[in-house]
Structure 1
Amino acid sequence: MPDNLLPIDSIARKLNLPEDAYEPLGRHGAKVKLDLLANPAFPRRGKLILVTATSPTTSGEGKTVTSIGLTQGLERIGKKVLITSREPSLGPVFGMKGGAAGGGRSQIEPSQKINLHFHGDLHAITSAHNLLAALIDAHLFHGNDLGLDPERITWPRAMDMNDRALRRIVISAGGKREGANRSTGFVITAASEVMAIMALAQNRDDLRQRLDRIVIGQNKSGEPVTAAALDATGAMMALLADALLPNLVQTTEGTPAFVHCGPFGNIAHGTSSVVSQQMALRLADYVVNEAGFAADLGAEKYIDIVMRSSGIAPSAAVVVTTVQSMRNQGEGDLERGLPNLARHIQNMRNFGLPIVVAINRFPSDTDTDLERLAEFAQQHGAESAYSEAFTRGGEGAVALAEKVVAALEKHPNVTVTPAYALEDSLEEKVRKVAAQIYGADGVEFSEAAQAKLKQFTAWGYADLPVCIAKTQYSFSDNPKLLGAPTGWTLHITDAALSAGAGFVVMIAGNMMLMPGLPKVSRAAEIDVNAEGVITGI
């Protein structure tokens, strides 16, 4: 942990937070109370900057580092700013990608704690999810008064770790009562509907209503059964009471930061909590909010799901790219990869947002390649700036901050347009995203997916937005189809109803809701030294 971190009271004072508006947790963290949202002394005033990216490599392109650096850069040019960031999942921390609190001189601190247990939020979400699972099986064991069909229970277990062995399991093996020997599985906590609900809930009442609406399966008459029918909501609310409060921390340079909730951007909607964003817009003039993975995932889902649900419209978009990501998209050839950047720029423009391309500079990049990226962005109508936030902190992102402020001032009143109308059928919503955002020629729905969508429509859920779970490495559902492919078909292999979160998940290709560890994982590098300091994250 850096020695120069400010006490959390100093961070609160930067935001003019009264002492009774937050509860310190240790020297460098606090929970901010929900009362702030109803306090007339804190009207909504800020502009939200949505940070997204081009299609990444397996190691990522520094989108989080750039978001943190941009926040620090904005503070350096005299702006009152807050970043709203997601809480890391232990899956990537111990898997392939590593921690998710930034890096170098642009981190959110205390980064080691944030990357591990932090304030217990992910544990609370996991516990609430699994409490509901346990109540379902207890209900079956004790007579099944609701007439649940054990074969059509859809609520899984959850765990915040990459564990492919738990994707498909059999529970109550060898049992004799109804519901024994039932097939189920685990999802990673970041893909849990409870995580999505927490991230989208606007207050306690909204959280309660969303938990009530969770559909856990069907009864033997084919009707949906909700968590409310199991009287599960009150106990889940108790587990989530503290976790609903956003976490106030700081960046490496002492800039205020919220870190709250952590849905993945490829298999969930991929952004920090609405509560933290609503608070930030009342506490700062500029709010930097990162959306998971590339713009075809996190940014699309922000606009089509989060914006609709919360009423928070972004005022500008930052598209992070790198030489290495464009070379990767071109299978080693920079020029062949550049159409990937062009499509992401065009997509954000089609949504109605002013765009700044952040070129995240790596030490191995040549000036020629960097200049080509900047030239290409300009040719496609986008301002760009280099970012050296990893090595230089906020100083290395001042140019980017100035470009973003200029874009906001040039476009003070933008109208953000979603990719589809809620009145469209579920299938048509997918087709519009596939055509307009991904560049697909068409969509094929498996028989299983078609049957589920017909059922969800019959139950009255056709007006929900769609959350397409697909690979982050390509516009398509095939991670090896790089660049900006055309002439391909999106394959929807399955679908799941997230009635509490308020969307229908569409599974594209072979996407899994429980990732697996790689052959050599980050876990092999992580340890604790003789002084008790955690190393290797």
Structure 2
Amino acid sequence: MSVYENYVTQFGSFKKIDAFGYLDYLEGHPDEPRKHGKVVLVTADTPLKASRGEGKTTTTIALIDALRARGIDAAAVLRQPSMGITAAGSKGGASGGGKASLTHPELVDWGLCGEMAAIAAAQNLLVAFAEKAVDDERLDTIAVPRVSETPSRSLRRVRVDDGKNNIAERVVLTPTCELTQIVVLSRSMDEISNRVSNMVAGEKDGQPVRFGDFIDLWRITNILTEAVKPAYTETMQGSPVYVHCGPFANVSIGIPSLVSVEMACARHDVVVVEAGYGTDAGAQKWLDIAAREYGAQWPSAAIVVTRATTWRDDPTLRWRYPFHVHRLESLGIPAFPMINLWDGEDDQVLELRQQASHLKFREPIVGNLFRDGGDALVNQLDGFVAAVQNEGIPSVPGSHKGMDILEHVRWIADSAYGVPAERVVMRDGFSESLQDARALCAALGQDLNDYAVVAVKSPATMTDNDSAPEESRSVTLKKVEVHAGAGLVQVNLTSSLTTPMPKIV
């Protein structure tokens, strides 16, 4: 039995891997055989509608099936979705579709991997501790929100009045909360404990109070014992897939946990990582938060997925897909356009290839992956395989920690959305919000500029108005929210809700 098997346990219908323990063992035994897999990022065009995916998961599954058919040891790392968008029908599932599906899609789509429920329990227990701290006069306000896996408009903002205290609280979806971000970024239980300890519970006499000031953190970390373990499942063709954390790249990080990717890289030659929503969302956060600030691997290549309709239907939005592809190329990442055909679109292939050539893309990969799965890709991957195998892993660009936060946000707008600094504008109230965030960090003995920036934005737009002419597109800054435990500062850029409503069908 391999050492790896010692860290694998059966969890219902699938397996869980103690990634913390396995990676710690490898670090302590440098002679133990391990691989150093290369990361491939699967990202996408910005969808025409927030509720419509472009096919990243379907592509990811088909891609690893095709790579393995070519004799390459490939695996995928997918995100555990939120039931607030999958079970509620607001978006498609997160387990692929058709021939490019997982063997047990219900385990992913219905949250049965378990970490979201455990994170919700732990986050809500933190709020309960904060409420008790108000009763005990340790806190005057509560800063951390409750969470739910199902959306409710009535719970976005609430007040709790027990006759003695009248406290403002709020509720967000589990994947958007700080504790989810902590699990995504942490590499050990000690790190999780330290980060939770540094979460701001609220204020007392105008000064921030951390959770570590008044609770025993083992109560929280014990709840997360299984939640920190990636789940293992397979595609219908038997390809290995790890699932852990990461939905909502528009209002959170939107990437799988760093340990799940690191573990997969220790076991496979090519690891295909799915990033949420479009290249302006999940891919931006993998590159600028996971890789640039937290030491995750810079991708050796990227697949940029689009539907034929998204790419071409609205003439005012056609600029977005080429922008995404060329931006990744400018970062030294070979970016391969993937056109996800739907039924009835096979006769458009020649025209699509001609358009791709006109835009100076690499040779596009085209197929109906729902219908054909990895079989559609096997013979189209020569250039992709050459790029992954023949090019070394690019070095990660330098950290932006210490950069003034306004300059940092302007840099994101310019590099990720194509909006120059002079057209990044501040809504009324933003300056006050930024001033409050700086004061909070100063009271914690920290510098806001040392935090990694999480852009909170609409999943379906890159700017205030993507249909506007290029020379007039802008990005509006709306508010700032500090997540001291996660080491992140969230900056709201465009309209986006942390409790999206279900789709009525």
Q: TM-score, normalised by structure 1?
A: 0.86
1:67 corresponding residue in structure 2? 60
Question: Which one-letter code corresponds to 2:151 in the other structure?
Answer: N
Preserved CA contact (<8 Å) 1:352 1:416: no
1:47 is the counterpart of 2:38 = yes
Change (3 A) 1:484 1:31: farther
| Deviation of the 1:186 alpha carbon | 0.5
User: Could you report, residue by residue, the CA deviation over 1:114-138 in whole angstroms, capped at 9, with x for unpaired residues?
Assistant: 2113132111000011001110001
Secondary structure of 1:405 counterpart: helix
Question: Which one-letter code corresponds to 2:427 in the other structure?
Answer: S
Q: Of 482, 488, 494, which residue of structure 2 is paired with 1:503?
A: 488
Change (3 A) 1:33 1:305: closer
Secondary structure of 2:277 counterpart: coil
| Deviation of the 1:397 alpha carbon | 2.3
Change (3 A) 1:117 1:476: same
1:98 is the counterpart of 2:81 = no
CA distance in 1, matches of 2:346, 2:10: 46
Preserved CA contact (<8 Å) 1:469 1:507: yes
| Deviation of the 1:211 alpha carbon | 1.2
Secondary structure of 2:498 counterpart: coil
2:73 corresponding residue in structure 1? 80
User: Could you report, residue by residue, the CA deviation over 1:314-365 in whole angstroms, capped at 9, with x for unpaired residues?
Assistant: 111111112111134x2xx4xx543221111122123221111111111122
2:450 corresponding residue in structure 1? 463
2:250 corresponding residue in structure 1? 266
Q: Of 433, 446, 450, which residue of structure 1 is paired with 2:427?
A: 446
CA distance in 2, matches of 1:462, 1:33: 31
1:351 corresponding residue in structure 2? 331
| Deviation of the 1:104 alpha carbon | 0.6
1:227 is the counterpart of 2:218 = no
1:115 corresponding residue in structure 2? 109
Percent identity of paired positions between Structure 1 and Structure 2: 28
Secondary structure of 1:73 counterpart: helix
CA distance in 2, matches of 1:403, 1:230: 57
CA distance in 2, matches of 1:431, 1:342: 21
2:264 corresponding residue in structure 1? 280
CA distance in 1, matches of 2:125, 2:101: 34
Question: Which one-letter code corresponds to 1:254 in the other structure?
Answer: G
Secondary structure of 1:117 counterpart: coil
Q: Of 427, 431, 438, which residue of structure 1 is paired with 2:410?
A: 431
Secondary structure of 1:504 counterpart: strand
Question: Which one-letter code corresponds to 1:234 in the other structure?
Answer: W
Question: Which one-letter code corresponds to 2:61 in the other structure?
Answer: I
1:190 corresponding residue in structure 2? 175
Question: Which one-letter code corresponds to 1:516 in the other structure?
Answer: M
| Deviation of the 1:490 alpha carbon | 1.0
Change (3 A) 1:17 1:371: farther
1:6 corresponding residue in structure 2? none
Change (3 A) 1:340 1:18: closer
Preserved CA contact (<8 Å) 2:424 2:475: yes
| Deviation of the 1:210 alpha carbon | 1.5
CA distance in 2, matches of 1:483, 1:288: 35
User: Could you report, residue by residue, the CA deviation over 1:168-190 in whole angstroms, capped at 9, with x for unpaired residues?
Assistant: 1122x3x232xx22222100011
CA distance in 2, matches of 1:421, 1:34: 27
Q: Report how many residues are paired.
A: 487
1:23 corresponding residue in structure 2? 9
Question: Which one-letter code corresponds to 1:507 in the other structure?
Answer: N
Preserved CA contact (<8 Å) 1:74 1:402: no
Question: Which one-letter code corresponds to 1:81 in the other structure?
Answer: A
CA distance in 2, matches of 1:472, 1:284: 32
Preserved CA contact (<8 Å) 2:172 2:498: yes
Secondary structure of 1:88 counterpart: coil
Aligned runs of 1:165-204 on 2, under 5 Å?
165-171=154-160, 173=161, 175-177=162-164, 180-204=165-189
Preserved CA contact (<8 Å) 2:158 2:169: yes
1:325 corresponding residue in structure 2? 310
Q: TM-score, normalised by structure 2?
A: 0.91
Q: Gapped runs of 5+ residues in structure 2?
A: none
1:303 corresponding residue in structure 2? 287
